[in-house]
Amino acid sequence: MVHIYVDGETDSRLVQLLLDDLRTVSYQIIVANGRNAIRPRARKALLMKRVPVALIVDADTTDEHQAAMQQRELDDYLAWGSNHSEYKVIQFIPEIEVLFFEAPKTLALLTGREISAEMQAAGKAAPRKVLSTLLNIRDRAKLFSCLSQANLEELRAHPKISELRSFIHSAS
């Protein structure tokens, strides 16, 4: 069973929706609230339980160099405790909500209008904030209930989600 660590209930709900169609693999989504909690919990699973681990984190930056450095640090941190168990770090730049700004059909359906290039750029820089403004939704979980199967398929096609899904298949 693959243990998938996420930072918060809302991220957990989104990841669950994006993996919901995986019927032949075994995984468990574990919420670790806060960046400081997620790392040690994931490493403990690698060390003690010896299970494959996927760590899904927000980079909290748009600086590619900073994000790459964070990725290396997380990879090194988990490698030290991996005990030959498989692990994968999936980092979203800057936040997991960037998925919506890289899925234009889904975003247009959710907002009821085409999104301007300026708003797309703003959304890629601060996706959580811009998404809340565009949809006038403070509770992102409400947004997820509006997603159709076609929306989910577009989001699942994102390279980071495809990478996660491939890892789950190979590690199960």
Cβ neighbours for 16, distance < 8 A, ≥ 6 positions apart: 29
C-alpha to C-alpha distance for 31 and 13, rounded to whole angstroms: 10
pTM of the complete model: 0.93
Each of the 172 residues of the chain gets a pLDDT tens digit; together they read 999 999 999 999 999 999 999 989 999 999 998 878 999 999 999 999 999 999 999 999 999 999 999 999 999 999 987 878 999 999 999 999 999 999 989 999 888 889 999 999 999 999 999 998 888 876 676 788 889 999 999 999 999 999 999 999 999 8
Half-sphere exposure of 15 (CA within 13 A, CB side): 28
Report pLDDT for 103: 94
> Facing residues of 29 across strands?
4
